[in-house]
Copies of this chain bind each other. A is one copy, B any other.
Amino acid sequence: MTADQTQTATDATAAYDRLEERVERISNIGNAAGVLRWDQEVIMPDAGTPARAKQLSTLSSLSHELLTDEETGDLLAELEAADADLTDDQRAVVREVRRQYDRATSVPQELVEEISETTSNAHPTWMQAREEDDFEQFAPTLEKLVDLKREYAAHIDPDADPYEVLFANYEPYLDLETAEEILAQLRDTLVPLLEAIDESDADLATDAFAGQFDDDDQEALARDALDALGYDWSRGRLDTAPHPFSSGTQFDARVTTRFDEEDLLGSITSVIHEFGHANYTIGLPDEEYATPLGEARDLTVHESQSRLWENHVGRSRPFWDRFLPTARERFPELEDVSPREAYEAANQVYDDNLIRVDADELTYHLHIVIRFEIERGLISGDLEVSEVPQVWNDKYEEYLGVRPETDAEGCLQDIHWSHGSFGYFPTYSLGSVLAAQLYAAAEDELGDLDDQIRAGEFDDLNGWLRENVHQHGKRYTTPDLIESATGEPFTAEYFLEYVDAKYGDLYDLE
């Protein structure tokens, strides 16, 4: 190194330290807000809302100001100019901050505020429209949100497909073309598979978990399930919330669930799903806390972790061999249910279900495809808001063979659009698809995992996920992470093989 080169490297180090300090502050503010939101969802007294809203709004403004501050831009420019002096990890951090910075600084503050205000007001409007089954009430708000989000996308990239820009808010590094292809494959495969299932004479034990199950005992069993999977209680807790979620950091990744006395199976699969999210969070490296290297890759990867545990483990035959005896200890009335019957009940296809959140592992993706196709149309301008109910119902009939009779059980059922969240839905299905790819790669390396699951041994599987996914945080882009973990680009192949084998067996298909 020449003296000049040394000086440049020193400058880069100093600039990097300053960027990191800024990033850590932003991240700590975000994590503090996460605790406040958890508290609000889980335990806050009812009257706390106005003060909590102000606290969260203050934290959000502070974070936004730190991110969009001129100094952030200067530091990024300085570091990008000194790219050769950075380590790979530093380069990854700069890449992530650059992306956030560009997005945050492209959109005028007034538009951000208008979107925020419109979505705040949209929520009660949507709630009431759904309650009164009256799409007309929600339509003007939805139109406004579509317009605002198109405007938002144009600020970020006026030359891009606006839906692609919005999708990238949730899944920054997967190109939309890949996502679209995968969703089309799901549609083209699952629609005929579902028809075959419909025509099948197979007689599954769909009522294996029929009955009334006490909430407290369900909670005890949920804790048993978390114990069985190896949830690290020193870094988490289980509580109830109206809408199950998990949140937190690698030091404190909490799970929530809910209990319905008539749906024991639902509470078990839901808590395993949330375990998958929390377990990913816990696997992020402690020493990178509050930097992008210690934070989860985006929604698809997160959902891949919840779906892997929920579906590939929690809905597997060997899991029920293992777990049914535990369930029987809490609920002796399950004594006559066999592991095969439990497995069948956990995997039954609900062919007349209209509601996404109640869907089974298979039809779920058709619910998603419908939303994806509609929201793409809305954002591209190919579809008018007024056409949504008709198109929604037609697509349900075409893909799922059922037709909603009301908008409340049709296009008004989900909260996402009232949040202005266009581009979010696809990540649910992409997560399932990735789960299958990761699970196949894990089995490719570790051998068939059925015996381990049957023995309640999850260390190998979790070790593989820690090593190949969790420990990297945002080090790689999503496509690079997938390729590094599985040796292949993102593909639906493994998911389609998986459902083909599983449902072929369950429903005696050819």
Q: Which of A240-265 contact B (CB under 8 A)?
A: 249-252, 254
Query: Oligomeric state, in number of copies?
Result: 2
> Taking CB as reference atom, which chain B residue is nearest A26?
B58
Whether a CB of chain B sits under 8 angstroms from the CB of A487 is no
Determine if A235 and B35 form an interchain contact, defined as CB atoms under 8 angstroms apart.
no
Q: Is A108 engaged at the interface, CB distance under 8 Å to the other chain?
A: no
CA distance A168 to B343 in the complex (A): 68
**Docked pose: A232 CA to B47 CA in angstroms:** 10
Contact residues of A between 241 and 293, Cβ < 8 Å to B: 249-252, 254, 286, 289-290
List the B side residues contacting A50 at CB < 8 Å. 251, 286, 289
Query: Chain B's nearest CB lies how many Å from the CB of A429?
Result: 32
Q: CB within 8 Å of B: which of A17-33?
A: 24-25, 28-29, 31-33
A1 interface residue per 8 A CB criterion: no
Query: Which of B25, B59, B232 interacts with A32 by CB under 8 Å?
Result: B59
Flag if B54 contacts A28 (CB, 8 Å): yes
Q: Which of A25, A62, A237, A289 has the most CB of B within 10 A?
A: A62
What is the minimal beta-carbon distance from A431 to any residue of chain B, in angstroms? 26
CB distance from A341 to the nearest CB of B (A): 36
CB-nearest residue of chain B relative to A232?
A: B47
Chain B: CB-nearest residue to A33: B32
5 A-B pairs with the lowest CB-CB distances in the bound complex, closest first: A48-B252, A28-B58, A51-B251, A47-B235, A32-B55
Q: Which residues of A contact B (CB under 8 A)?
A: 24-25, 28-29, 31-33, 35-36, 39, 43-52, 54-55, 57-59, 61-62, 232-237, 249-252, 254, 286, 289-290
Known: A32-B59, A45-B235, A45-B251. 9 other contacts (CB 8 A): A24-B54, A28-B54, A29-B58, A32-B33, A32-B55, A32-B58, A39-B39, A45-B234, A50-B286
27 cross-chain CB contacts under 8 A: A29-B62, A31-B55, A32-B32, A32-B58, A35-B39, A36-B36, A39-B39, A44-B252, A45-B234, A45-B235, A45-B236, A45-B237, A45-B251, A45-B252, A47-B232, A47-B234, A47-B251, A47-B252, A50-B286, A50-B289, A51-B249, A51-B251, A51-B289, A51-B290, A54-B289, A54-B290, A62-B62
